[in-house]
Structure 1
């Protein structure tokens, strides 16, 4: 039996919802983030992953939940690996659902638990995933998709903690993140970032890792990958995207993309046609 595979689809009929079906045994996901939430179900084996620095184990039948822009990893928790399916809805979609529930302006929910054991929800989620792989019944797809997300939010989400007044160090790091976002195609130096926020390079490096959970270089890679996915959706070639997003070459781009997404850029592009 094939030990590893990954099938990616981009469902245009559901606003570009990303759907991943995969089996991994030796795959080691690097620390990475997604613009959307990751909602998945373990269908065989068990997955080990870190979410914001805490380690979790998700066995067969359990759901995995990762909030948008939350740093996480992924690897096998058992020798045989794990098989799972996942969707990546945007914060905007979930915020619209909370608006309907609360009767007021919605906000993107926060899932406090990375692993959820909910047999009824797992069964409904599996039915949804089976339906999403079909090429018909759009009305039924939309209905089950939204009702499943709504049930998930009602049972397992919390209101995100309101942001308290930022400390000076936190403001510095947010400024540095904005600087990286504006200059992600360039070969940014640590000295350049530290000077921008008025810190020594070593102090800045420690503060950035403390508040973000990644080094500035690793965060720069995440920003480049986010822009790369956007450009791939617009039909740009792999070589163009690699160069335009600041990667040294296409091999460098492919390696980082696979470690973060579990699929190659070529597989990602193939999935965009579905």
Structure 2
């Protein structure tokens, strides 16, 4: 168990029995998630209390009677609201796990979710039981039982609540305008870029650039750049690079800056991530 601060704790681990599956058990009273994205399906279930989250331009509530689901690369944020405590369990199913799940379910195309909140008491209980079965503190877990619970819980979720077919949305004009900016960010995320540099790439003013990012991507240029840097840092940490080297090479000023953004985005420290990957 790691302390984010005296009032917030979290435990993060990788489930080696399932490809592409990471898990988090968090107990927060003050933590606030900055706007961010995960390149995985995120499924979260509340055990105690609740919080507010923002996604798709709307505010929702994460509470015990709700199952939260976010599609890969879907921007969202969260904060304490209306509750003095938020203890929850979440799953992060990345691409290898998604492919494994689709094969297990006999689905040849990834599905997506049109809503973020589902009030399904039986499914909520099922995911809580599944998470506890894969909890690193549970030494008595039965591998066959774990697999059955995984297939049942995720299979029921996708069968009852996912929309068939790949999510295809029209490309907004802003996205086309931003193409050279996005190329710059992906190529030079580790450099000290300015708003003026980004805007000039697309012949926009800095004000226009911020508006285009918000309308098209749902994130500010700075937040989008931070997500790229975090992904780069994760890749470096996974490859065994020291924390300070990963921080500087991915564009953060120093180790403390990486740690601060990592905690605000993922609810854990980089060290927790590394330890879970090397267990």
User: Given the two structures, how large is their TM-score scaled by the length of structure 1?
Assistant: 0.90
- Tell me the SS of whatever aligns to 1:188: coil
After TM superposition, list the pairs within 5 Å mapping 1:138-177 onto structure 2: 138-159=143-164, 160-164=166-170, 166-177=171-182
Provide the aligned C-alpha RMSD in A. Answer: 2.1
Structure 1 pair 238–204 and aligned structure 2 pair: CA distance change class (3 A)? same
Q: Distance in 1 between matches of 2:143 and 2:103?
A: 23
Between stretches 59-68 and 254-263, larger displacement belongs to 59-68
1:48 alignment partner in structure 2: 52
Quote the offset at 1:140 in angstroms.
3.0
Distance (whole Å) between structure 2 residues aligned to residue 180 and residue 270 of structure 1: 29
Q: Which residue of structure 2 lines up, in the alignment, with residue 119 of structure 1?
A: 121
* 1:77 alignment partner, one of 55, 60, 81: 81
1:253 is the counterpart of 2:273: no
Deviations 1:11-61 (A, max 9, x none): 223124110001100001111111111101100101211113210012224
Match of 1:207 among 183, 208, 212: 212
Offset of residue 88 of structure 1 = 0.4
Range 215-224 or range 94-103, more displaced: 94-103
* Aligned mates of 1:185, 1:114 — CA distance in 2: 33
Return 5+ residue gaps in structure 1 as ranges.
none
Residue range with higher mean Cα deviation, 72-81 or 89-98: 89-98
Q: Summarize the alignment of residues 220-259 of structure 1 with structure 2, pairs less than 5 Å apart.
A: 220-259=225-264
Is the CA contact 2:50–2:83 (under 8 Å) kept in the aligned structure 1?
A: no
Q: Which runs of 4+ in 1 moved over 3 A?
A: 91-103
Cα deviation for residue 3 of structure 1 reads: 4.5
Corresponding residue for 1:191?
196
* Structure 1 position 235, deviation (Å): 1.9
Match of residue 262, structure 1, among 267, 271, 276: 267
Instruction: Report the TM-score when normalising by structure 2.
Output: 0.88
- 1:9-28 alignment to 2 at 5 Å? 9-28=13-32
Which shows bigger deviation, 21-30 or 137-146?
A: 137-146
Matched residue of 1:272: which SS? helix
Measured in 1, the distance between the counterparts of 2:96 and 2:178 equals 25
Equivalent position SS for 1:38: strand
1:106 aligns with 2:106: no
Using the TM superposition, give the Cα deviation of residue 87 of structure 1 relative to its aligned residue in structure 2, in angstroms.
0.6
For structure 2, the residue ranges without an aligned partner over 5 or more in a row are 1-5
Number of residue pairs matched by the alignment? 270
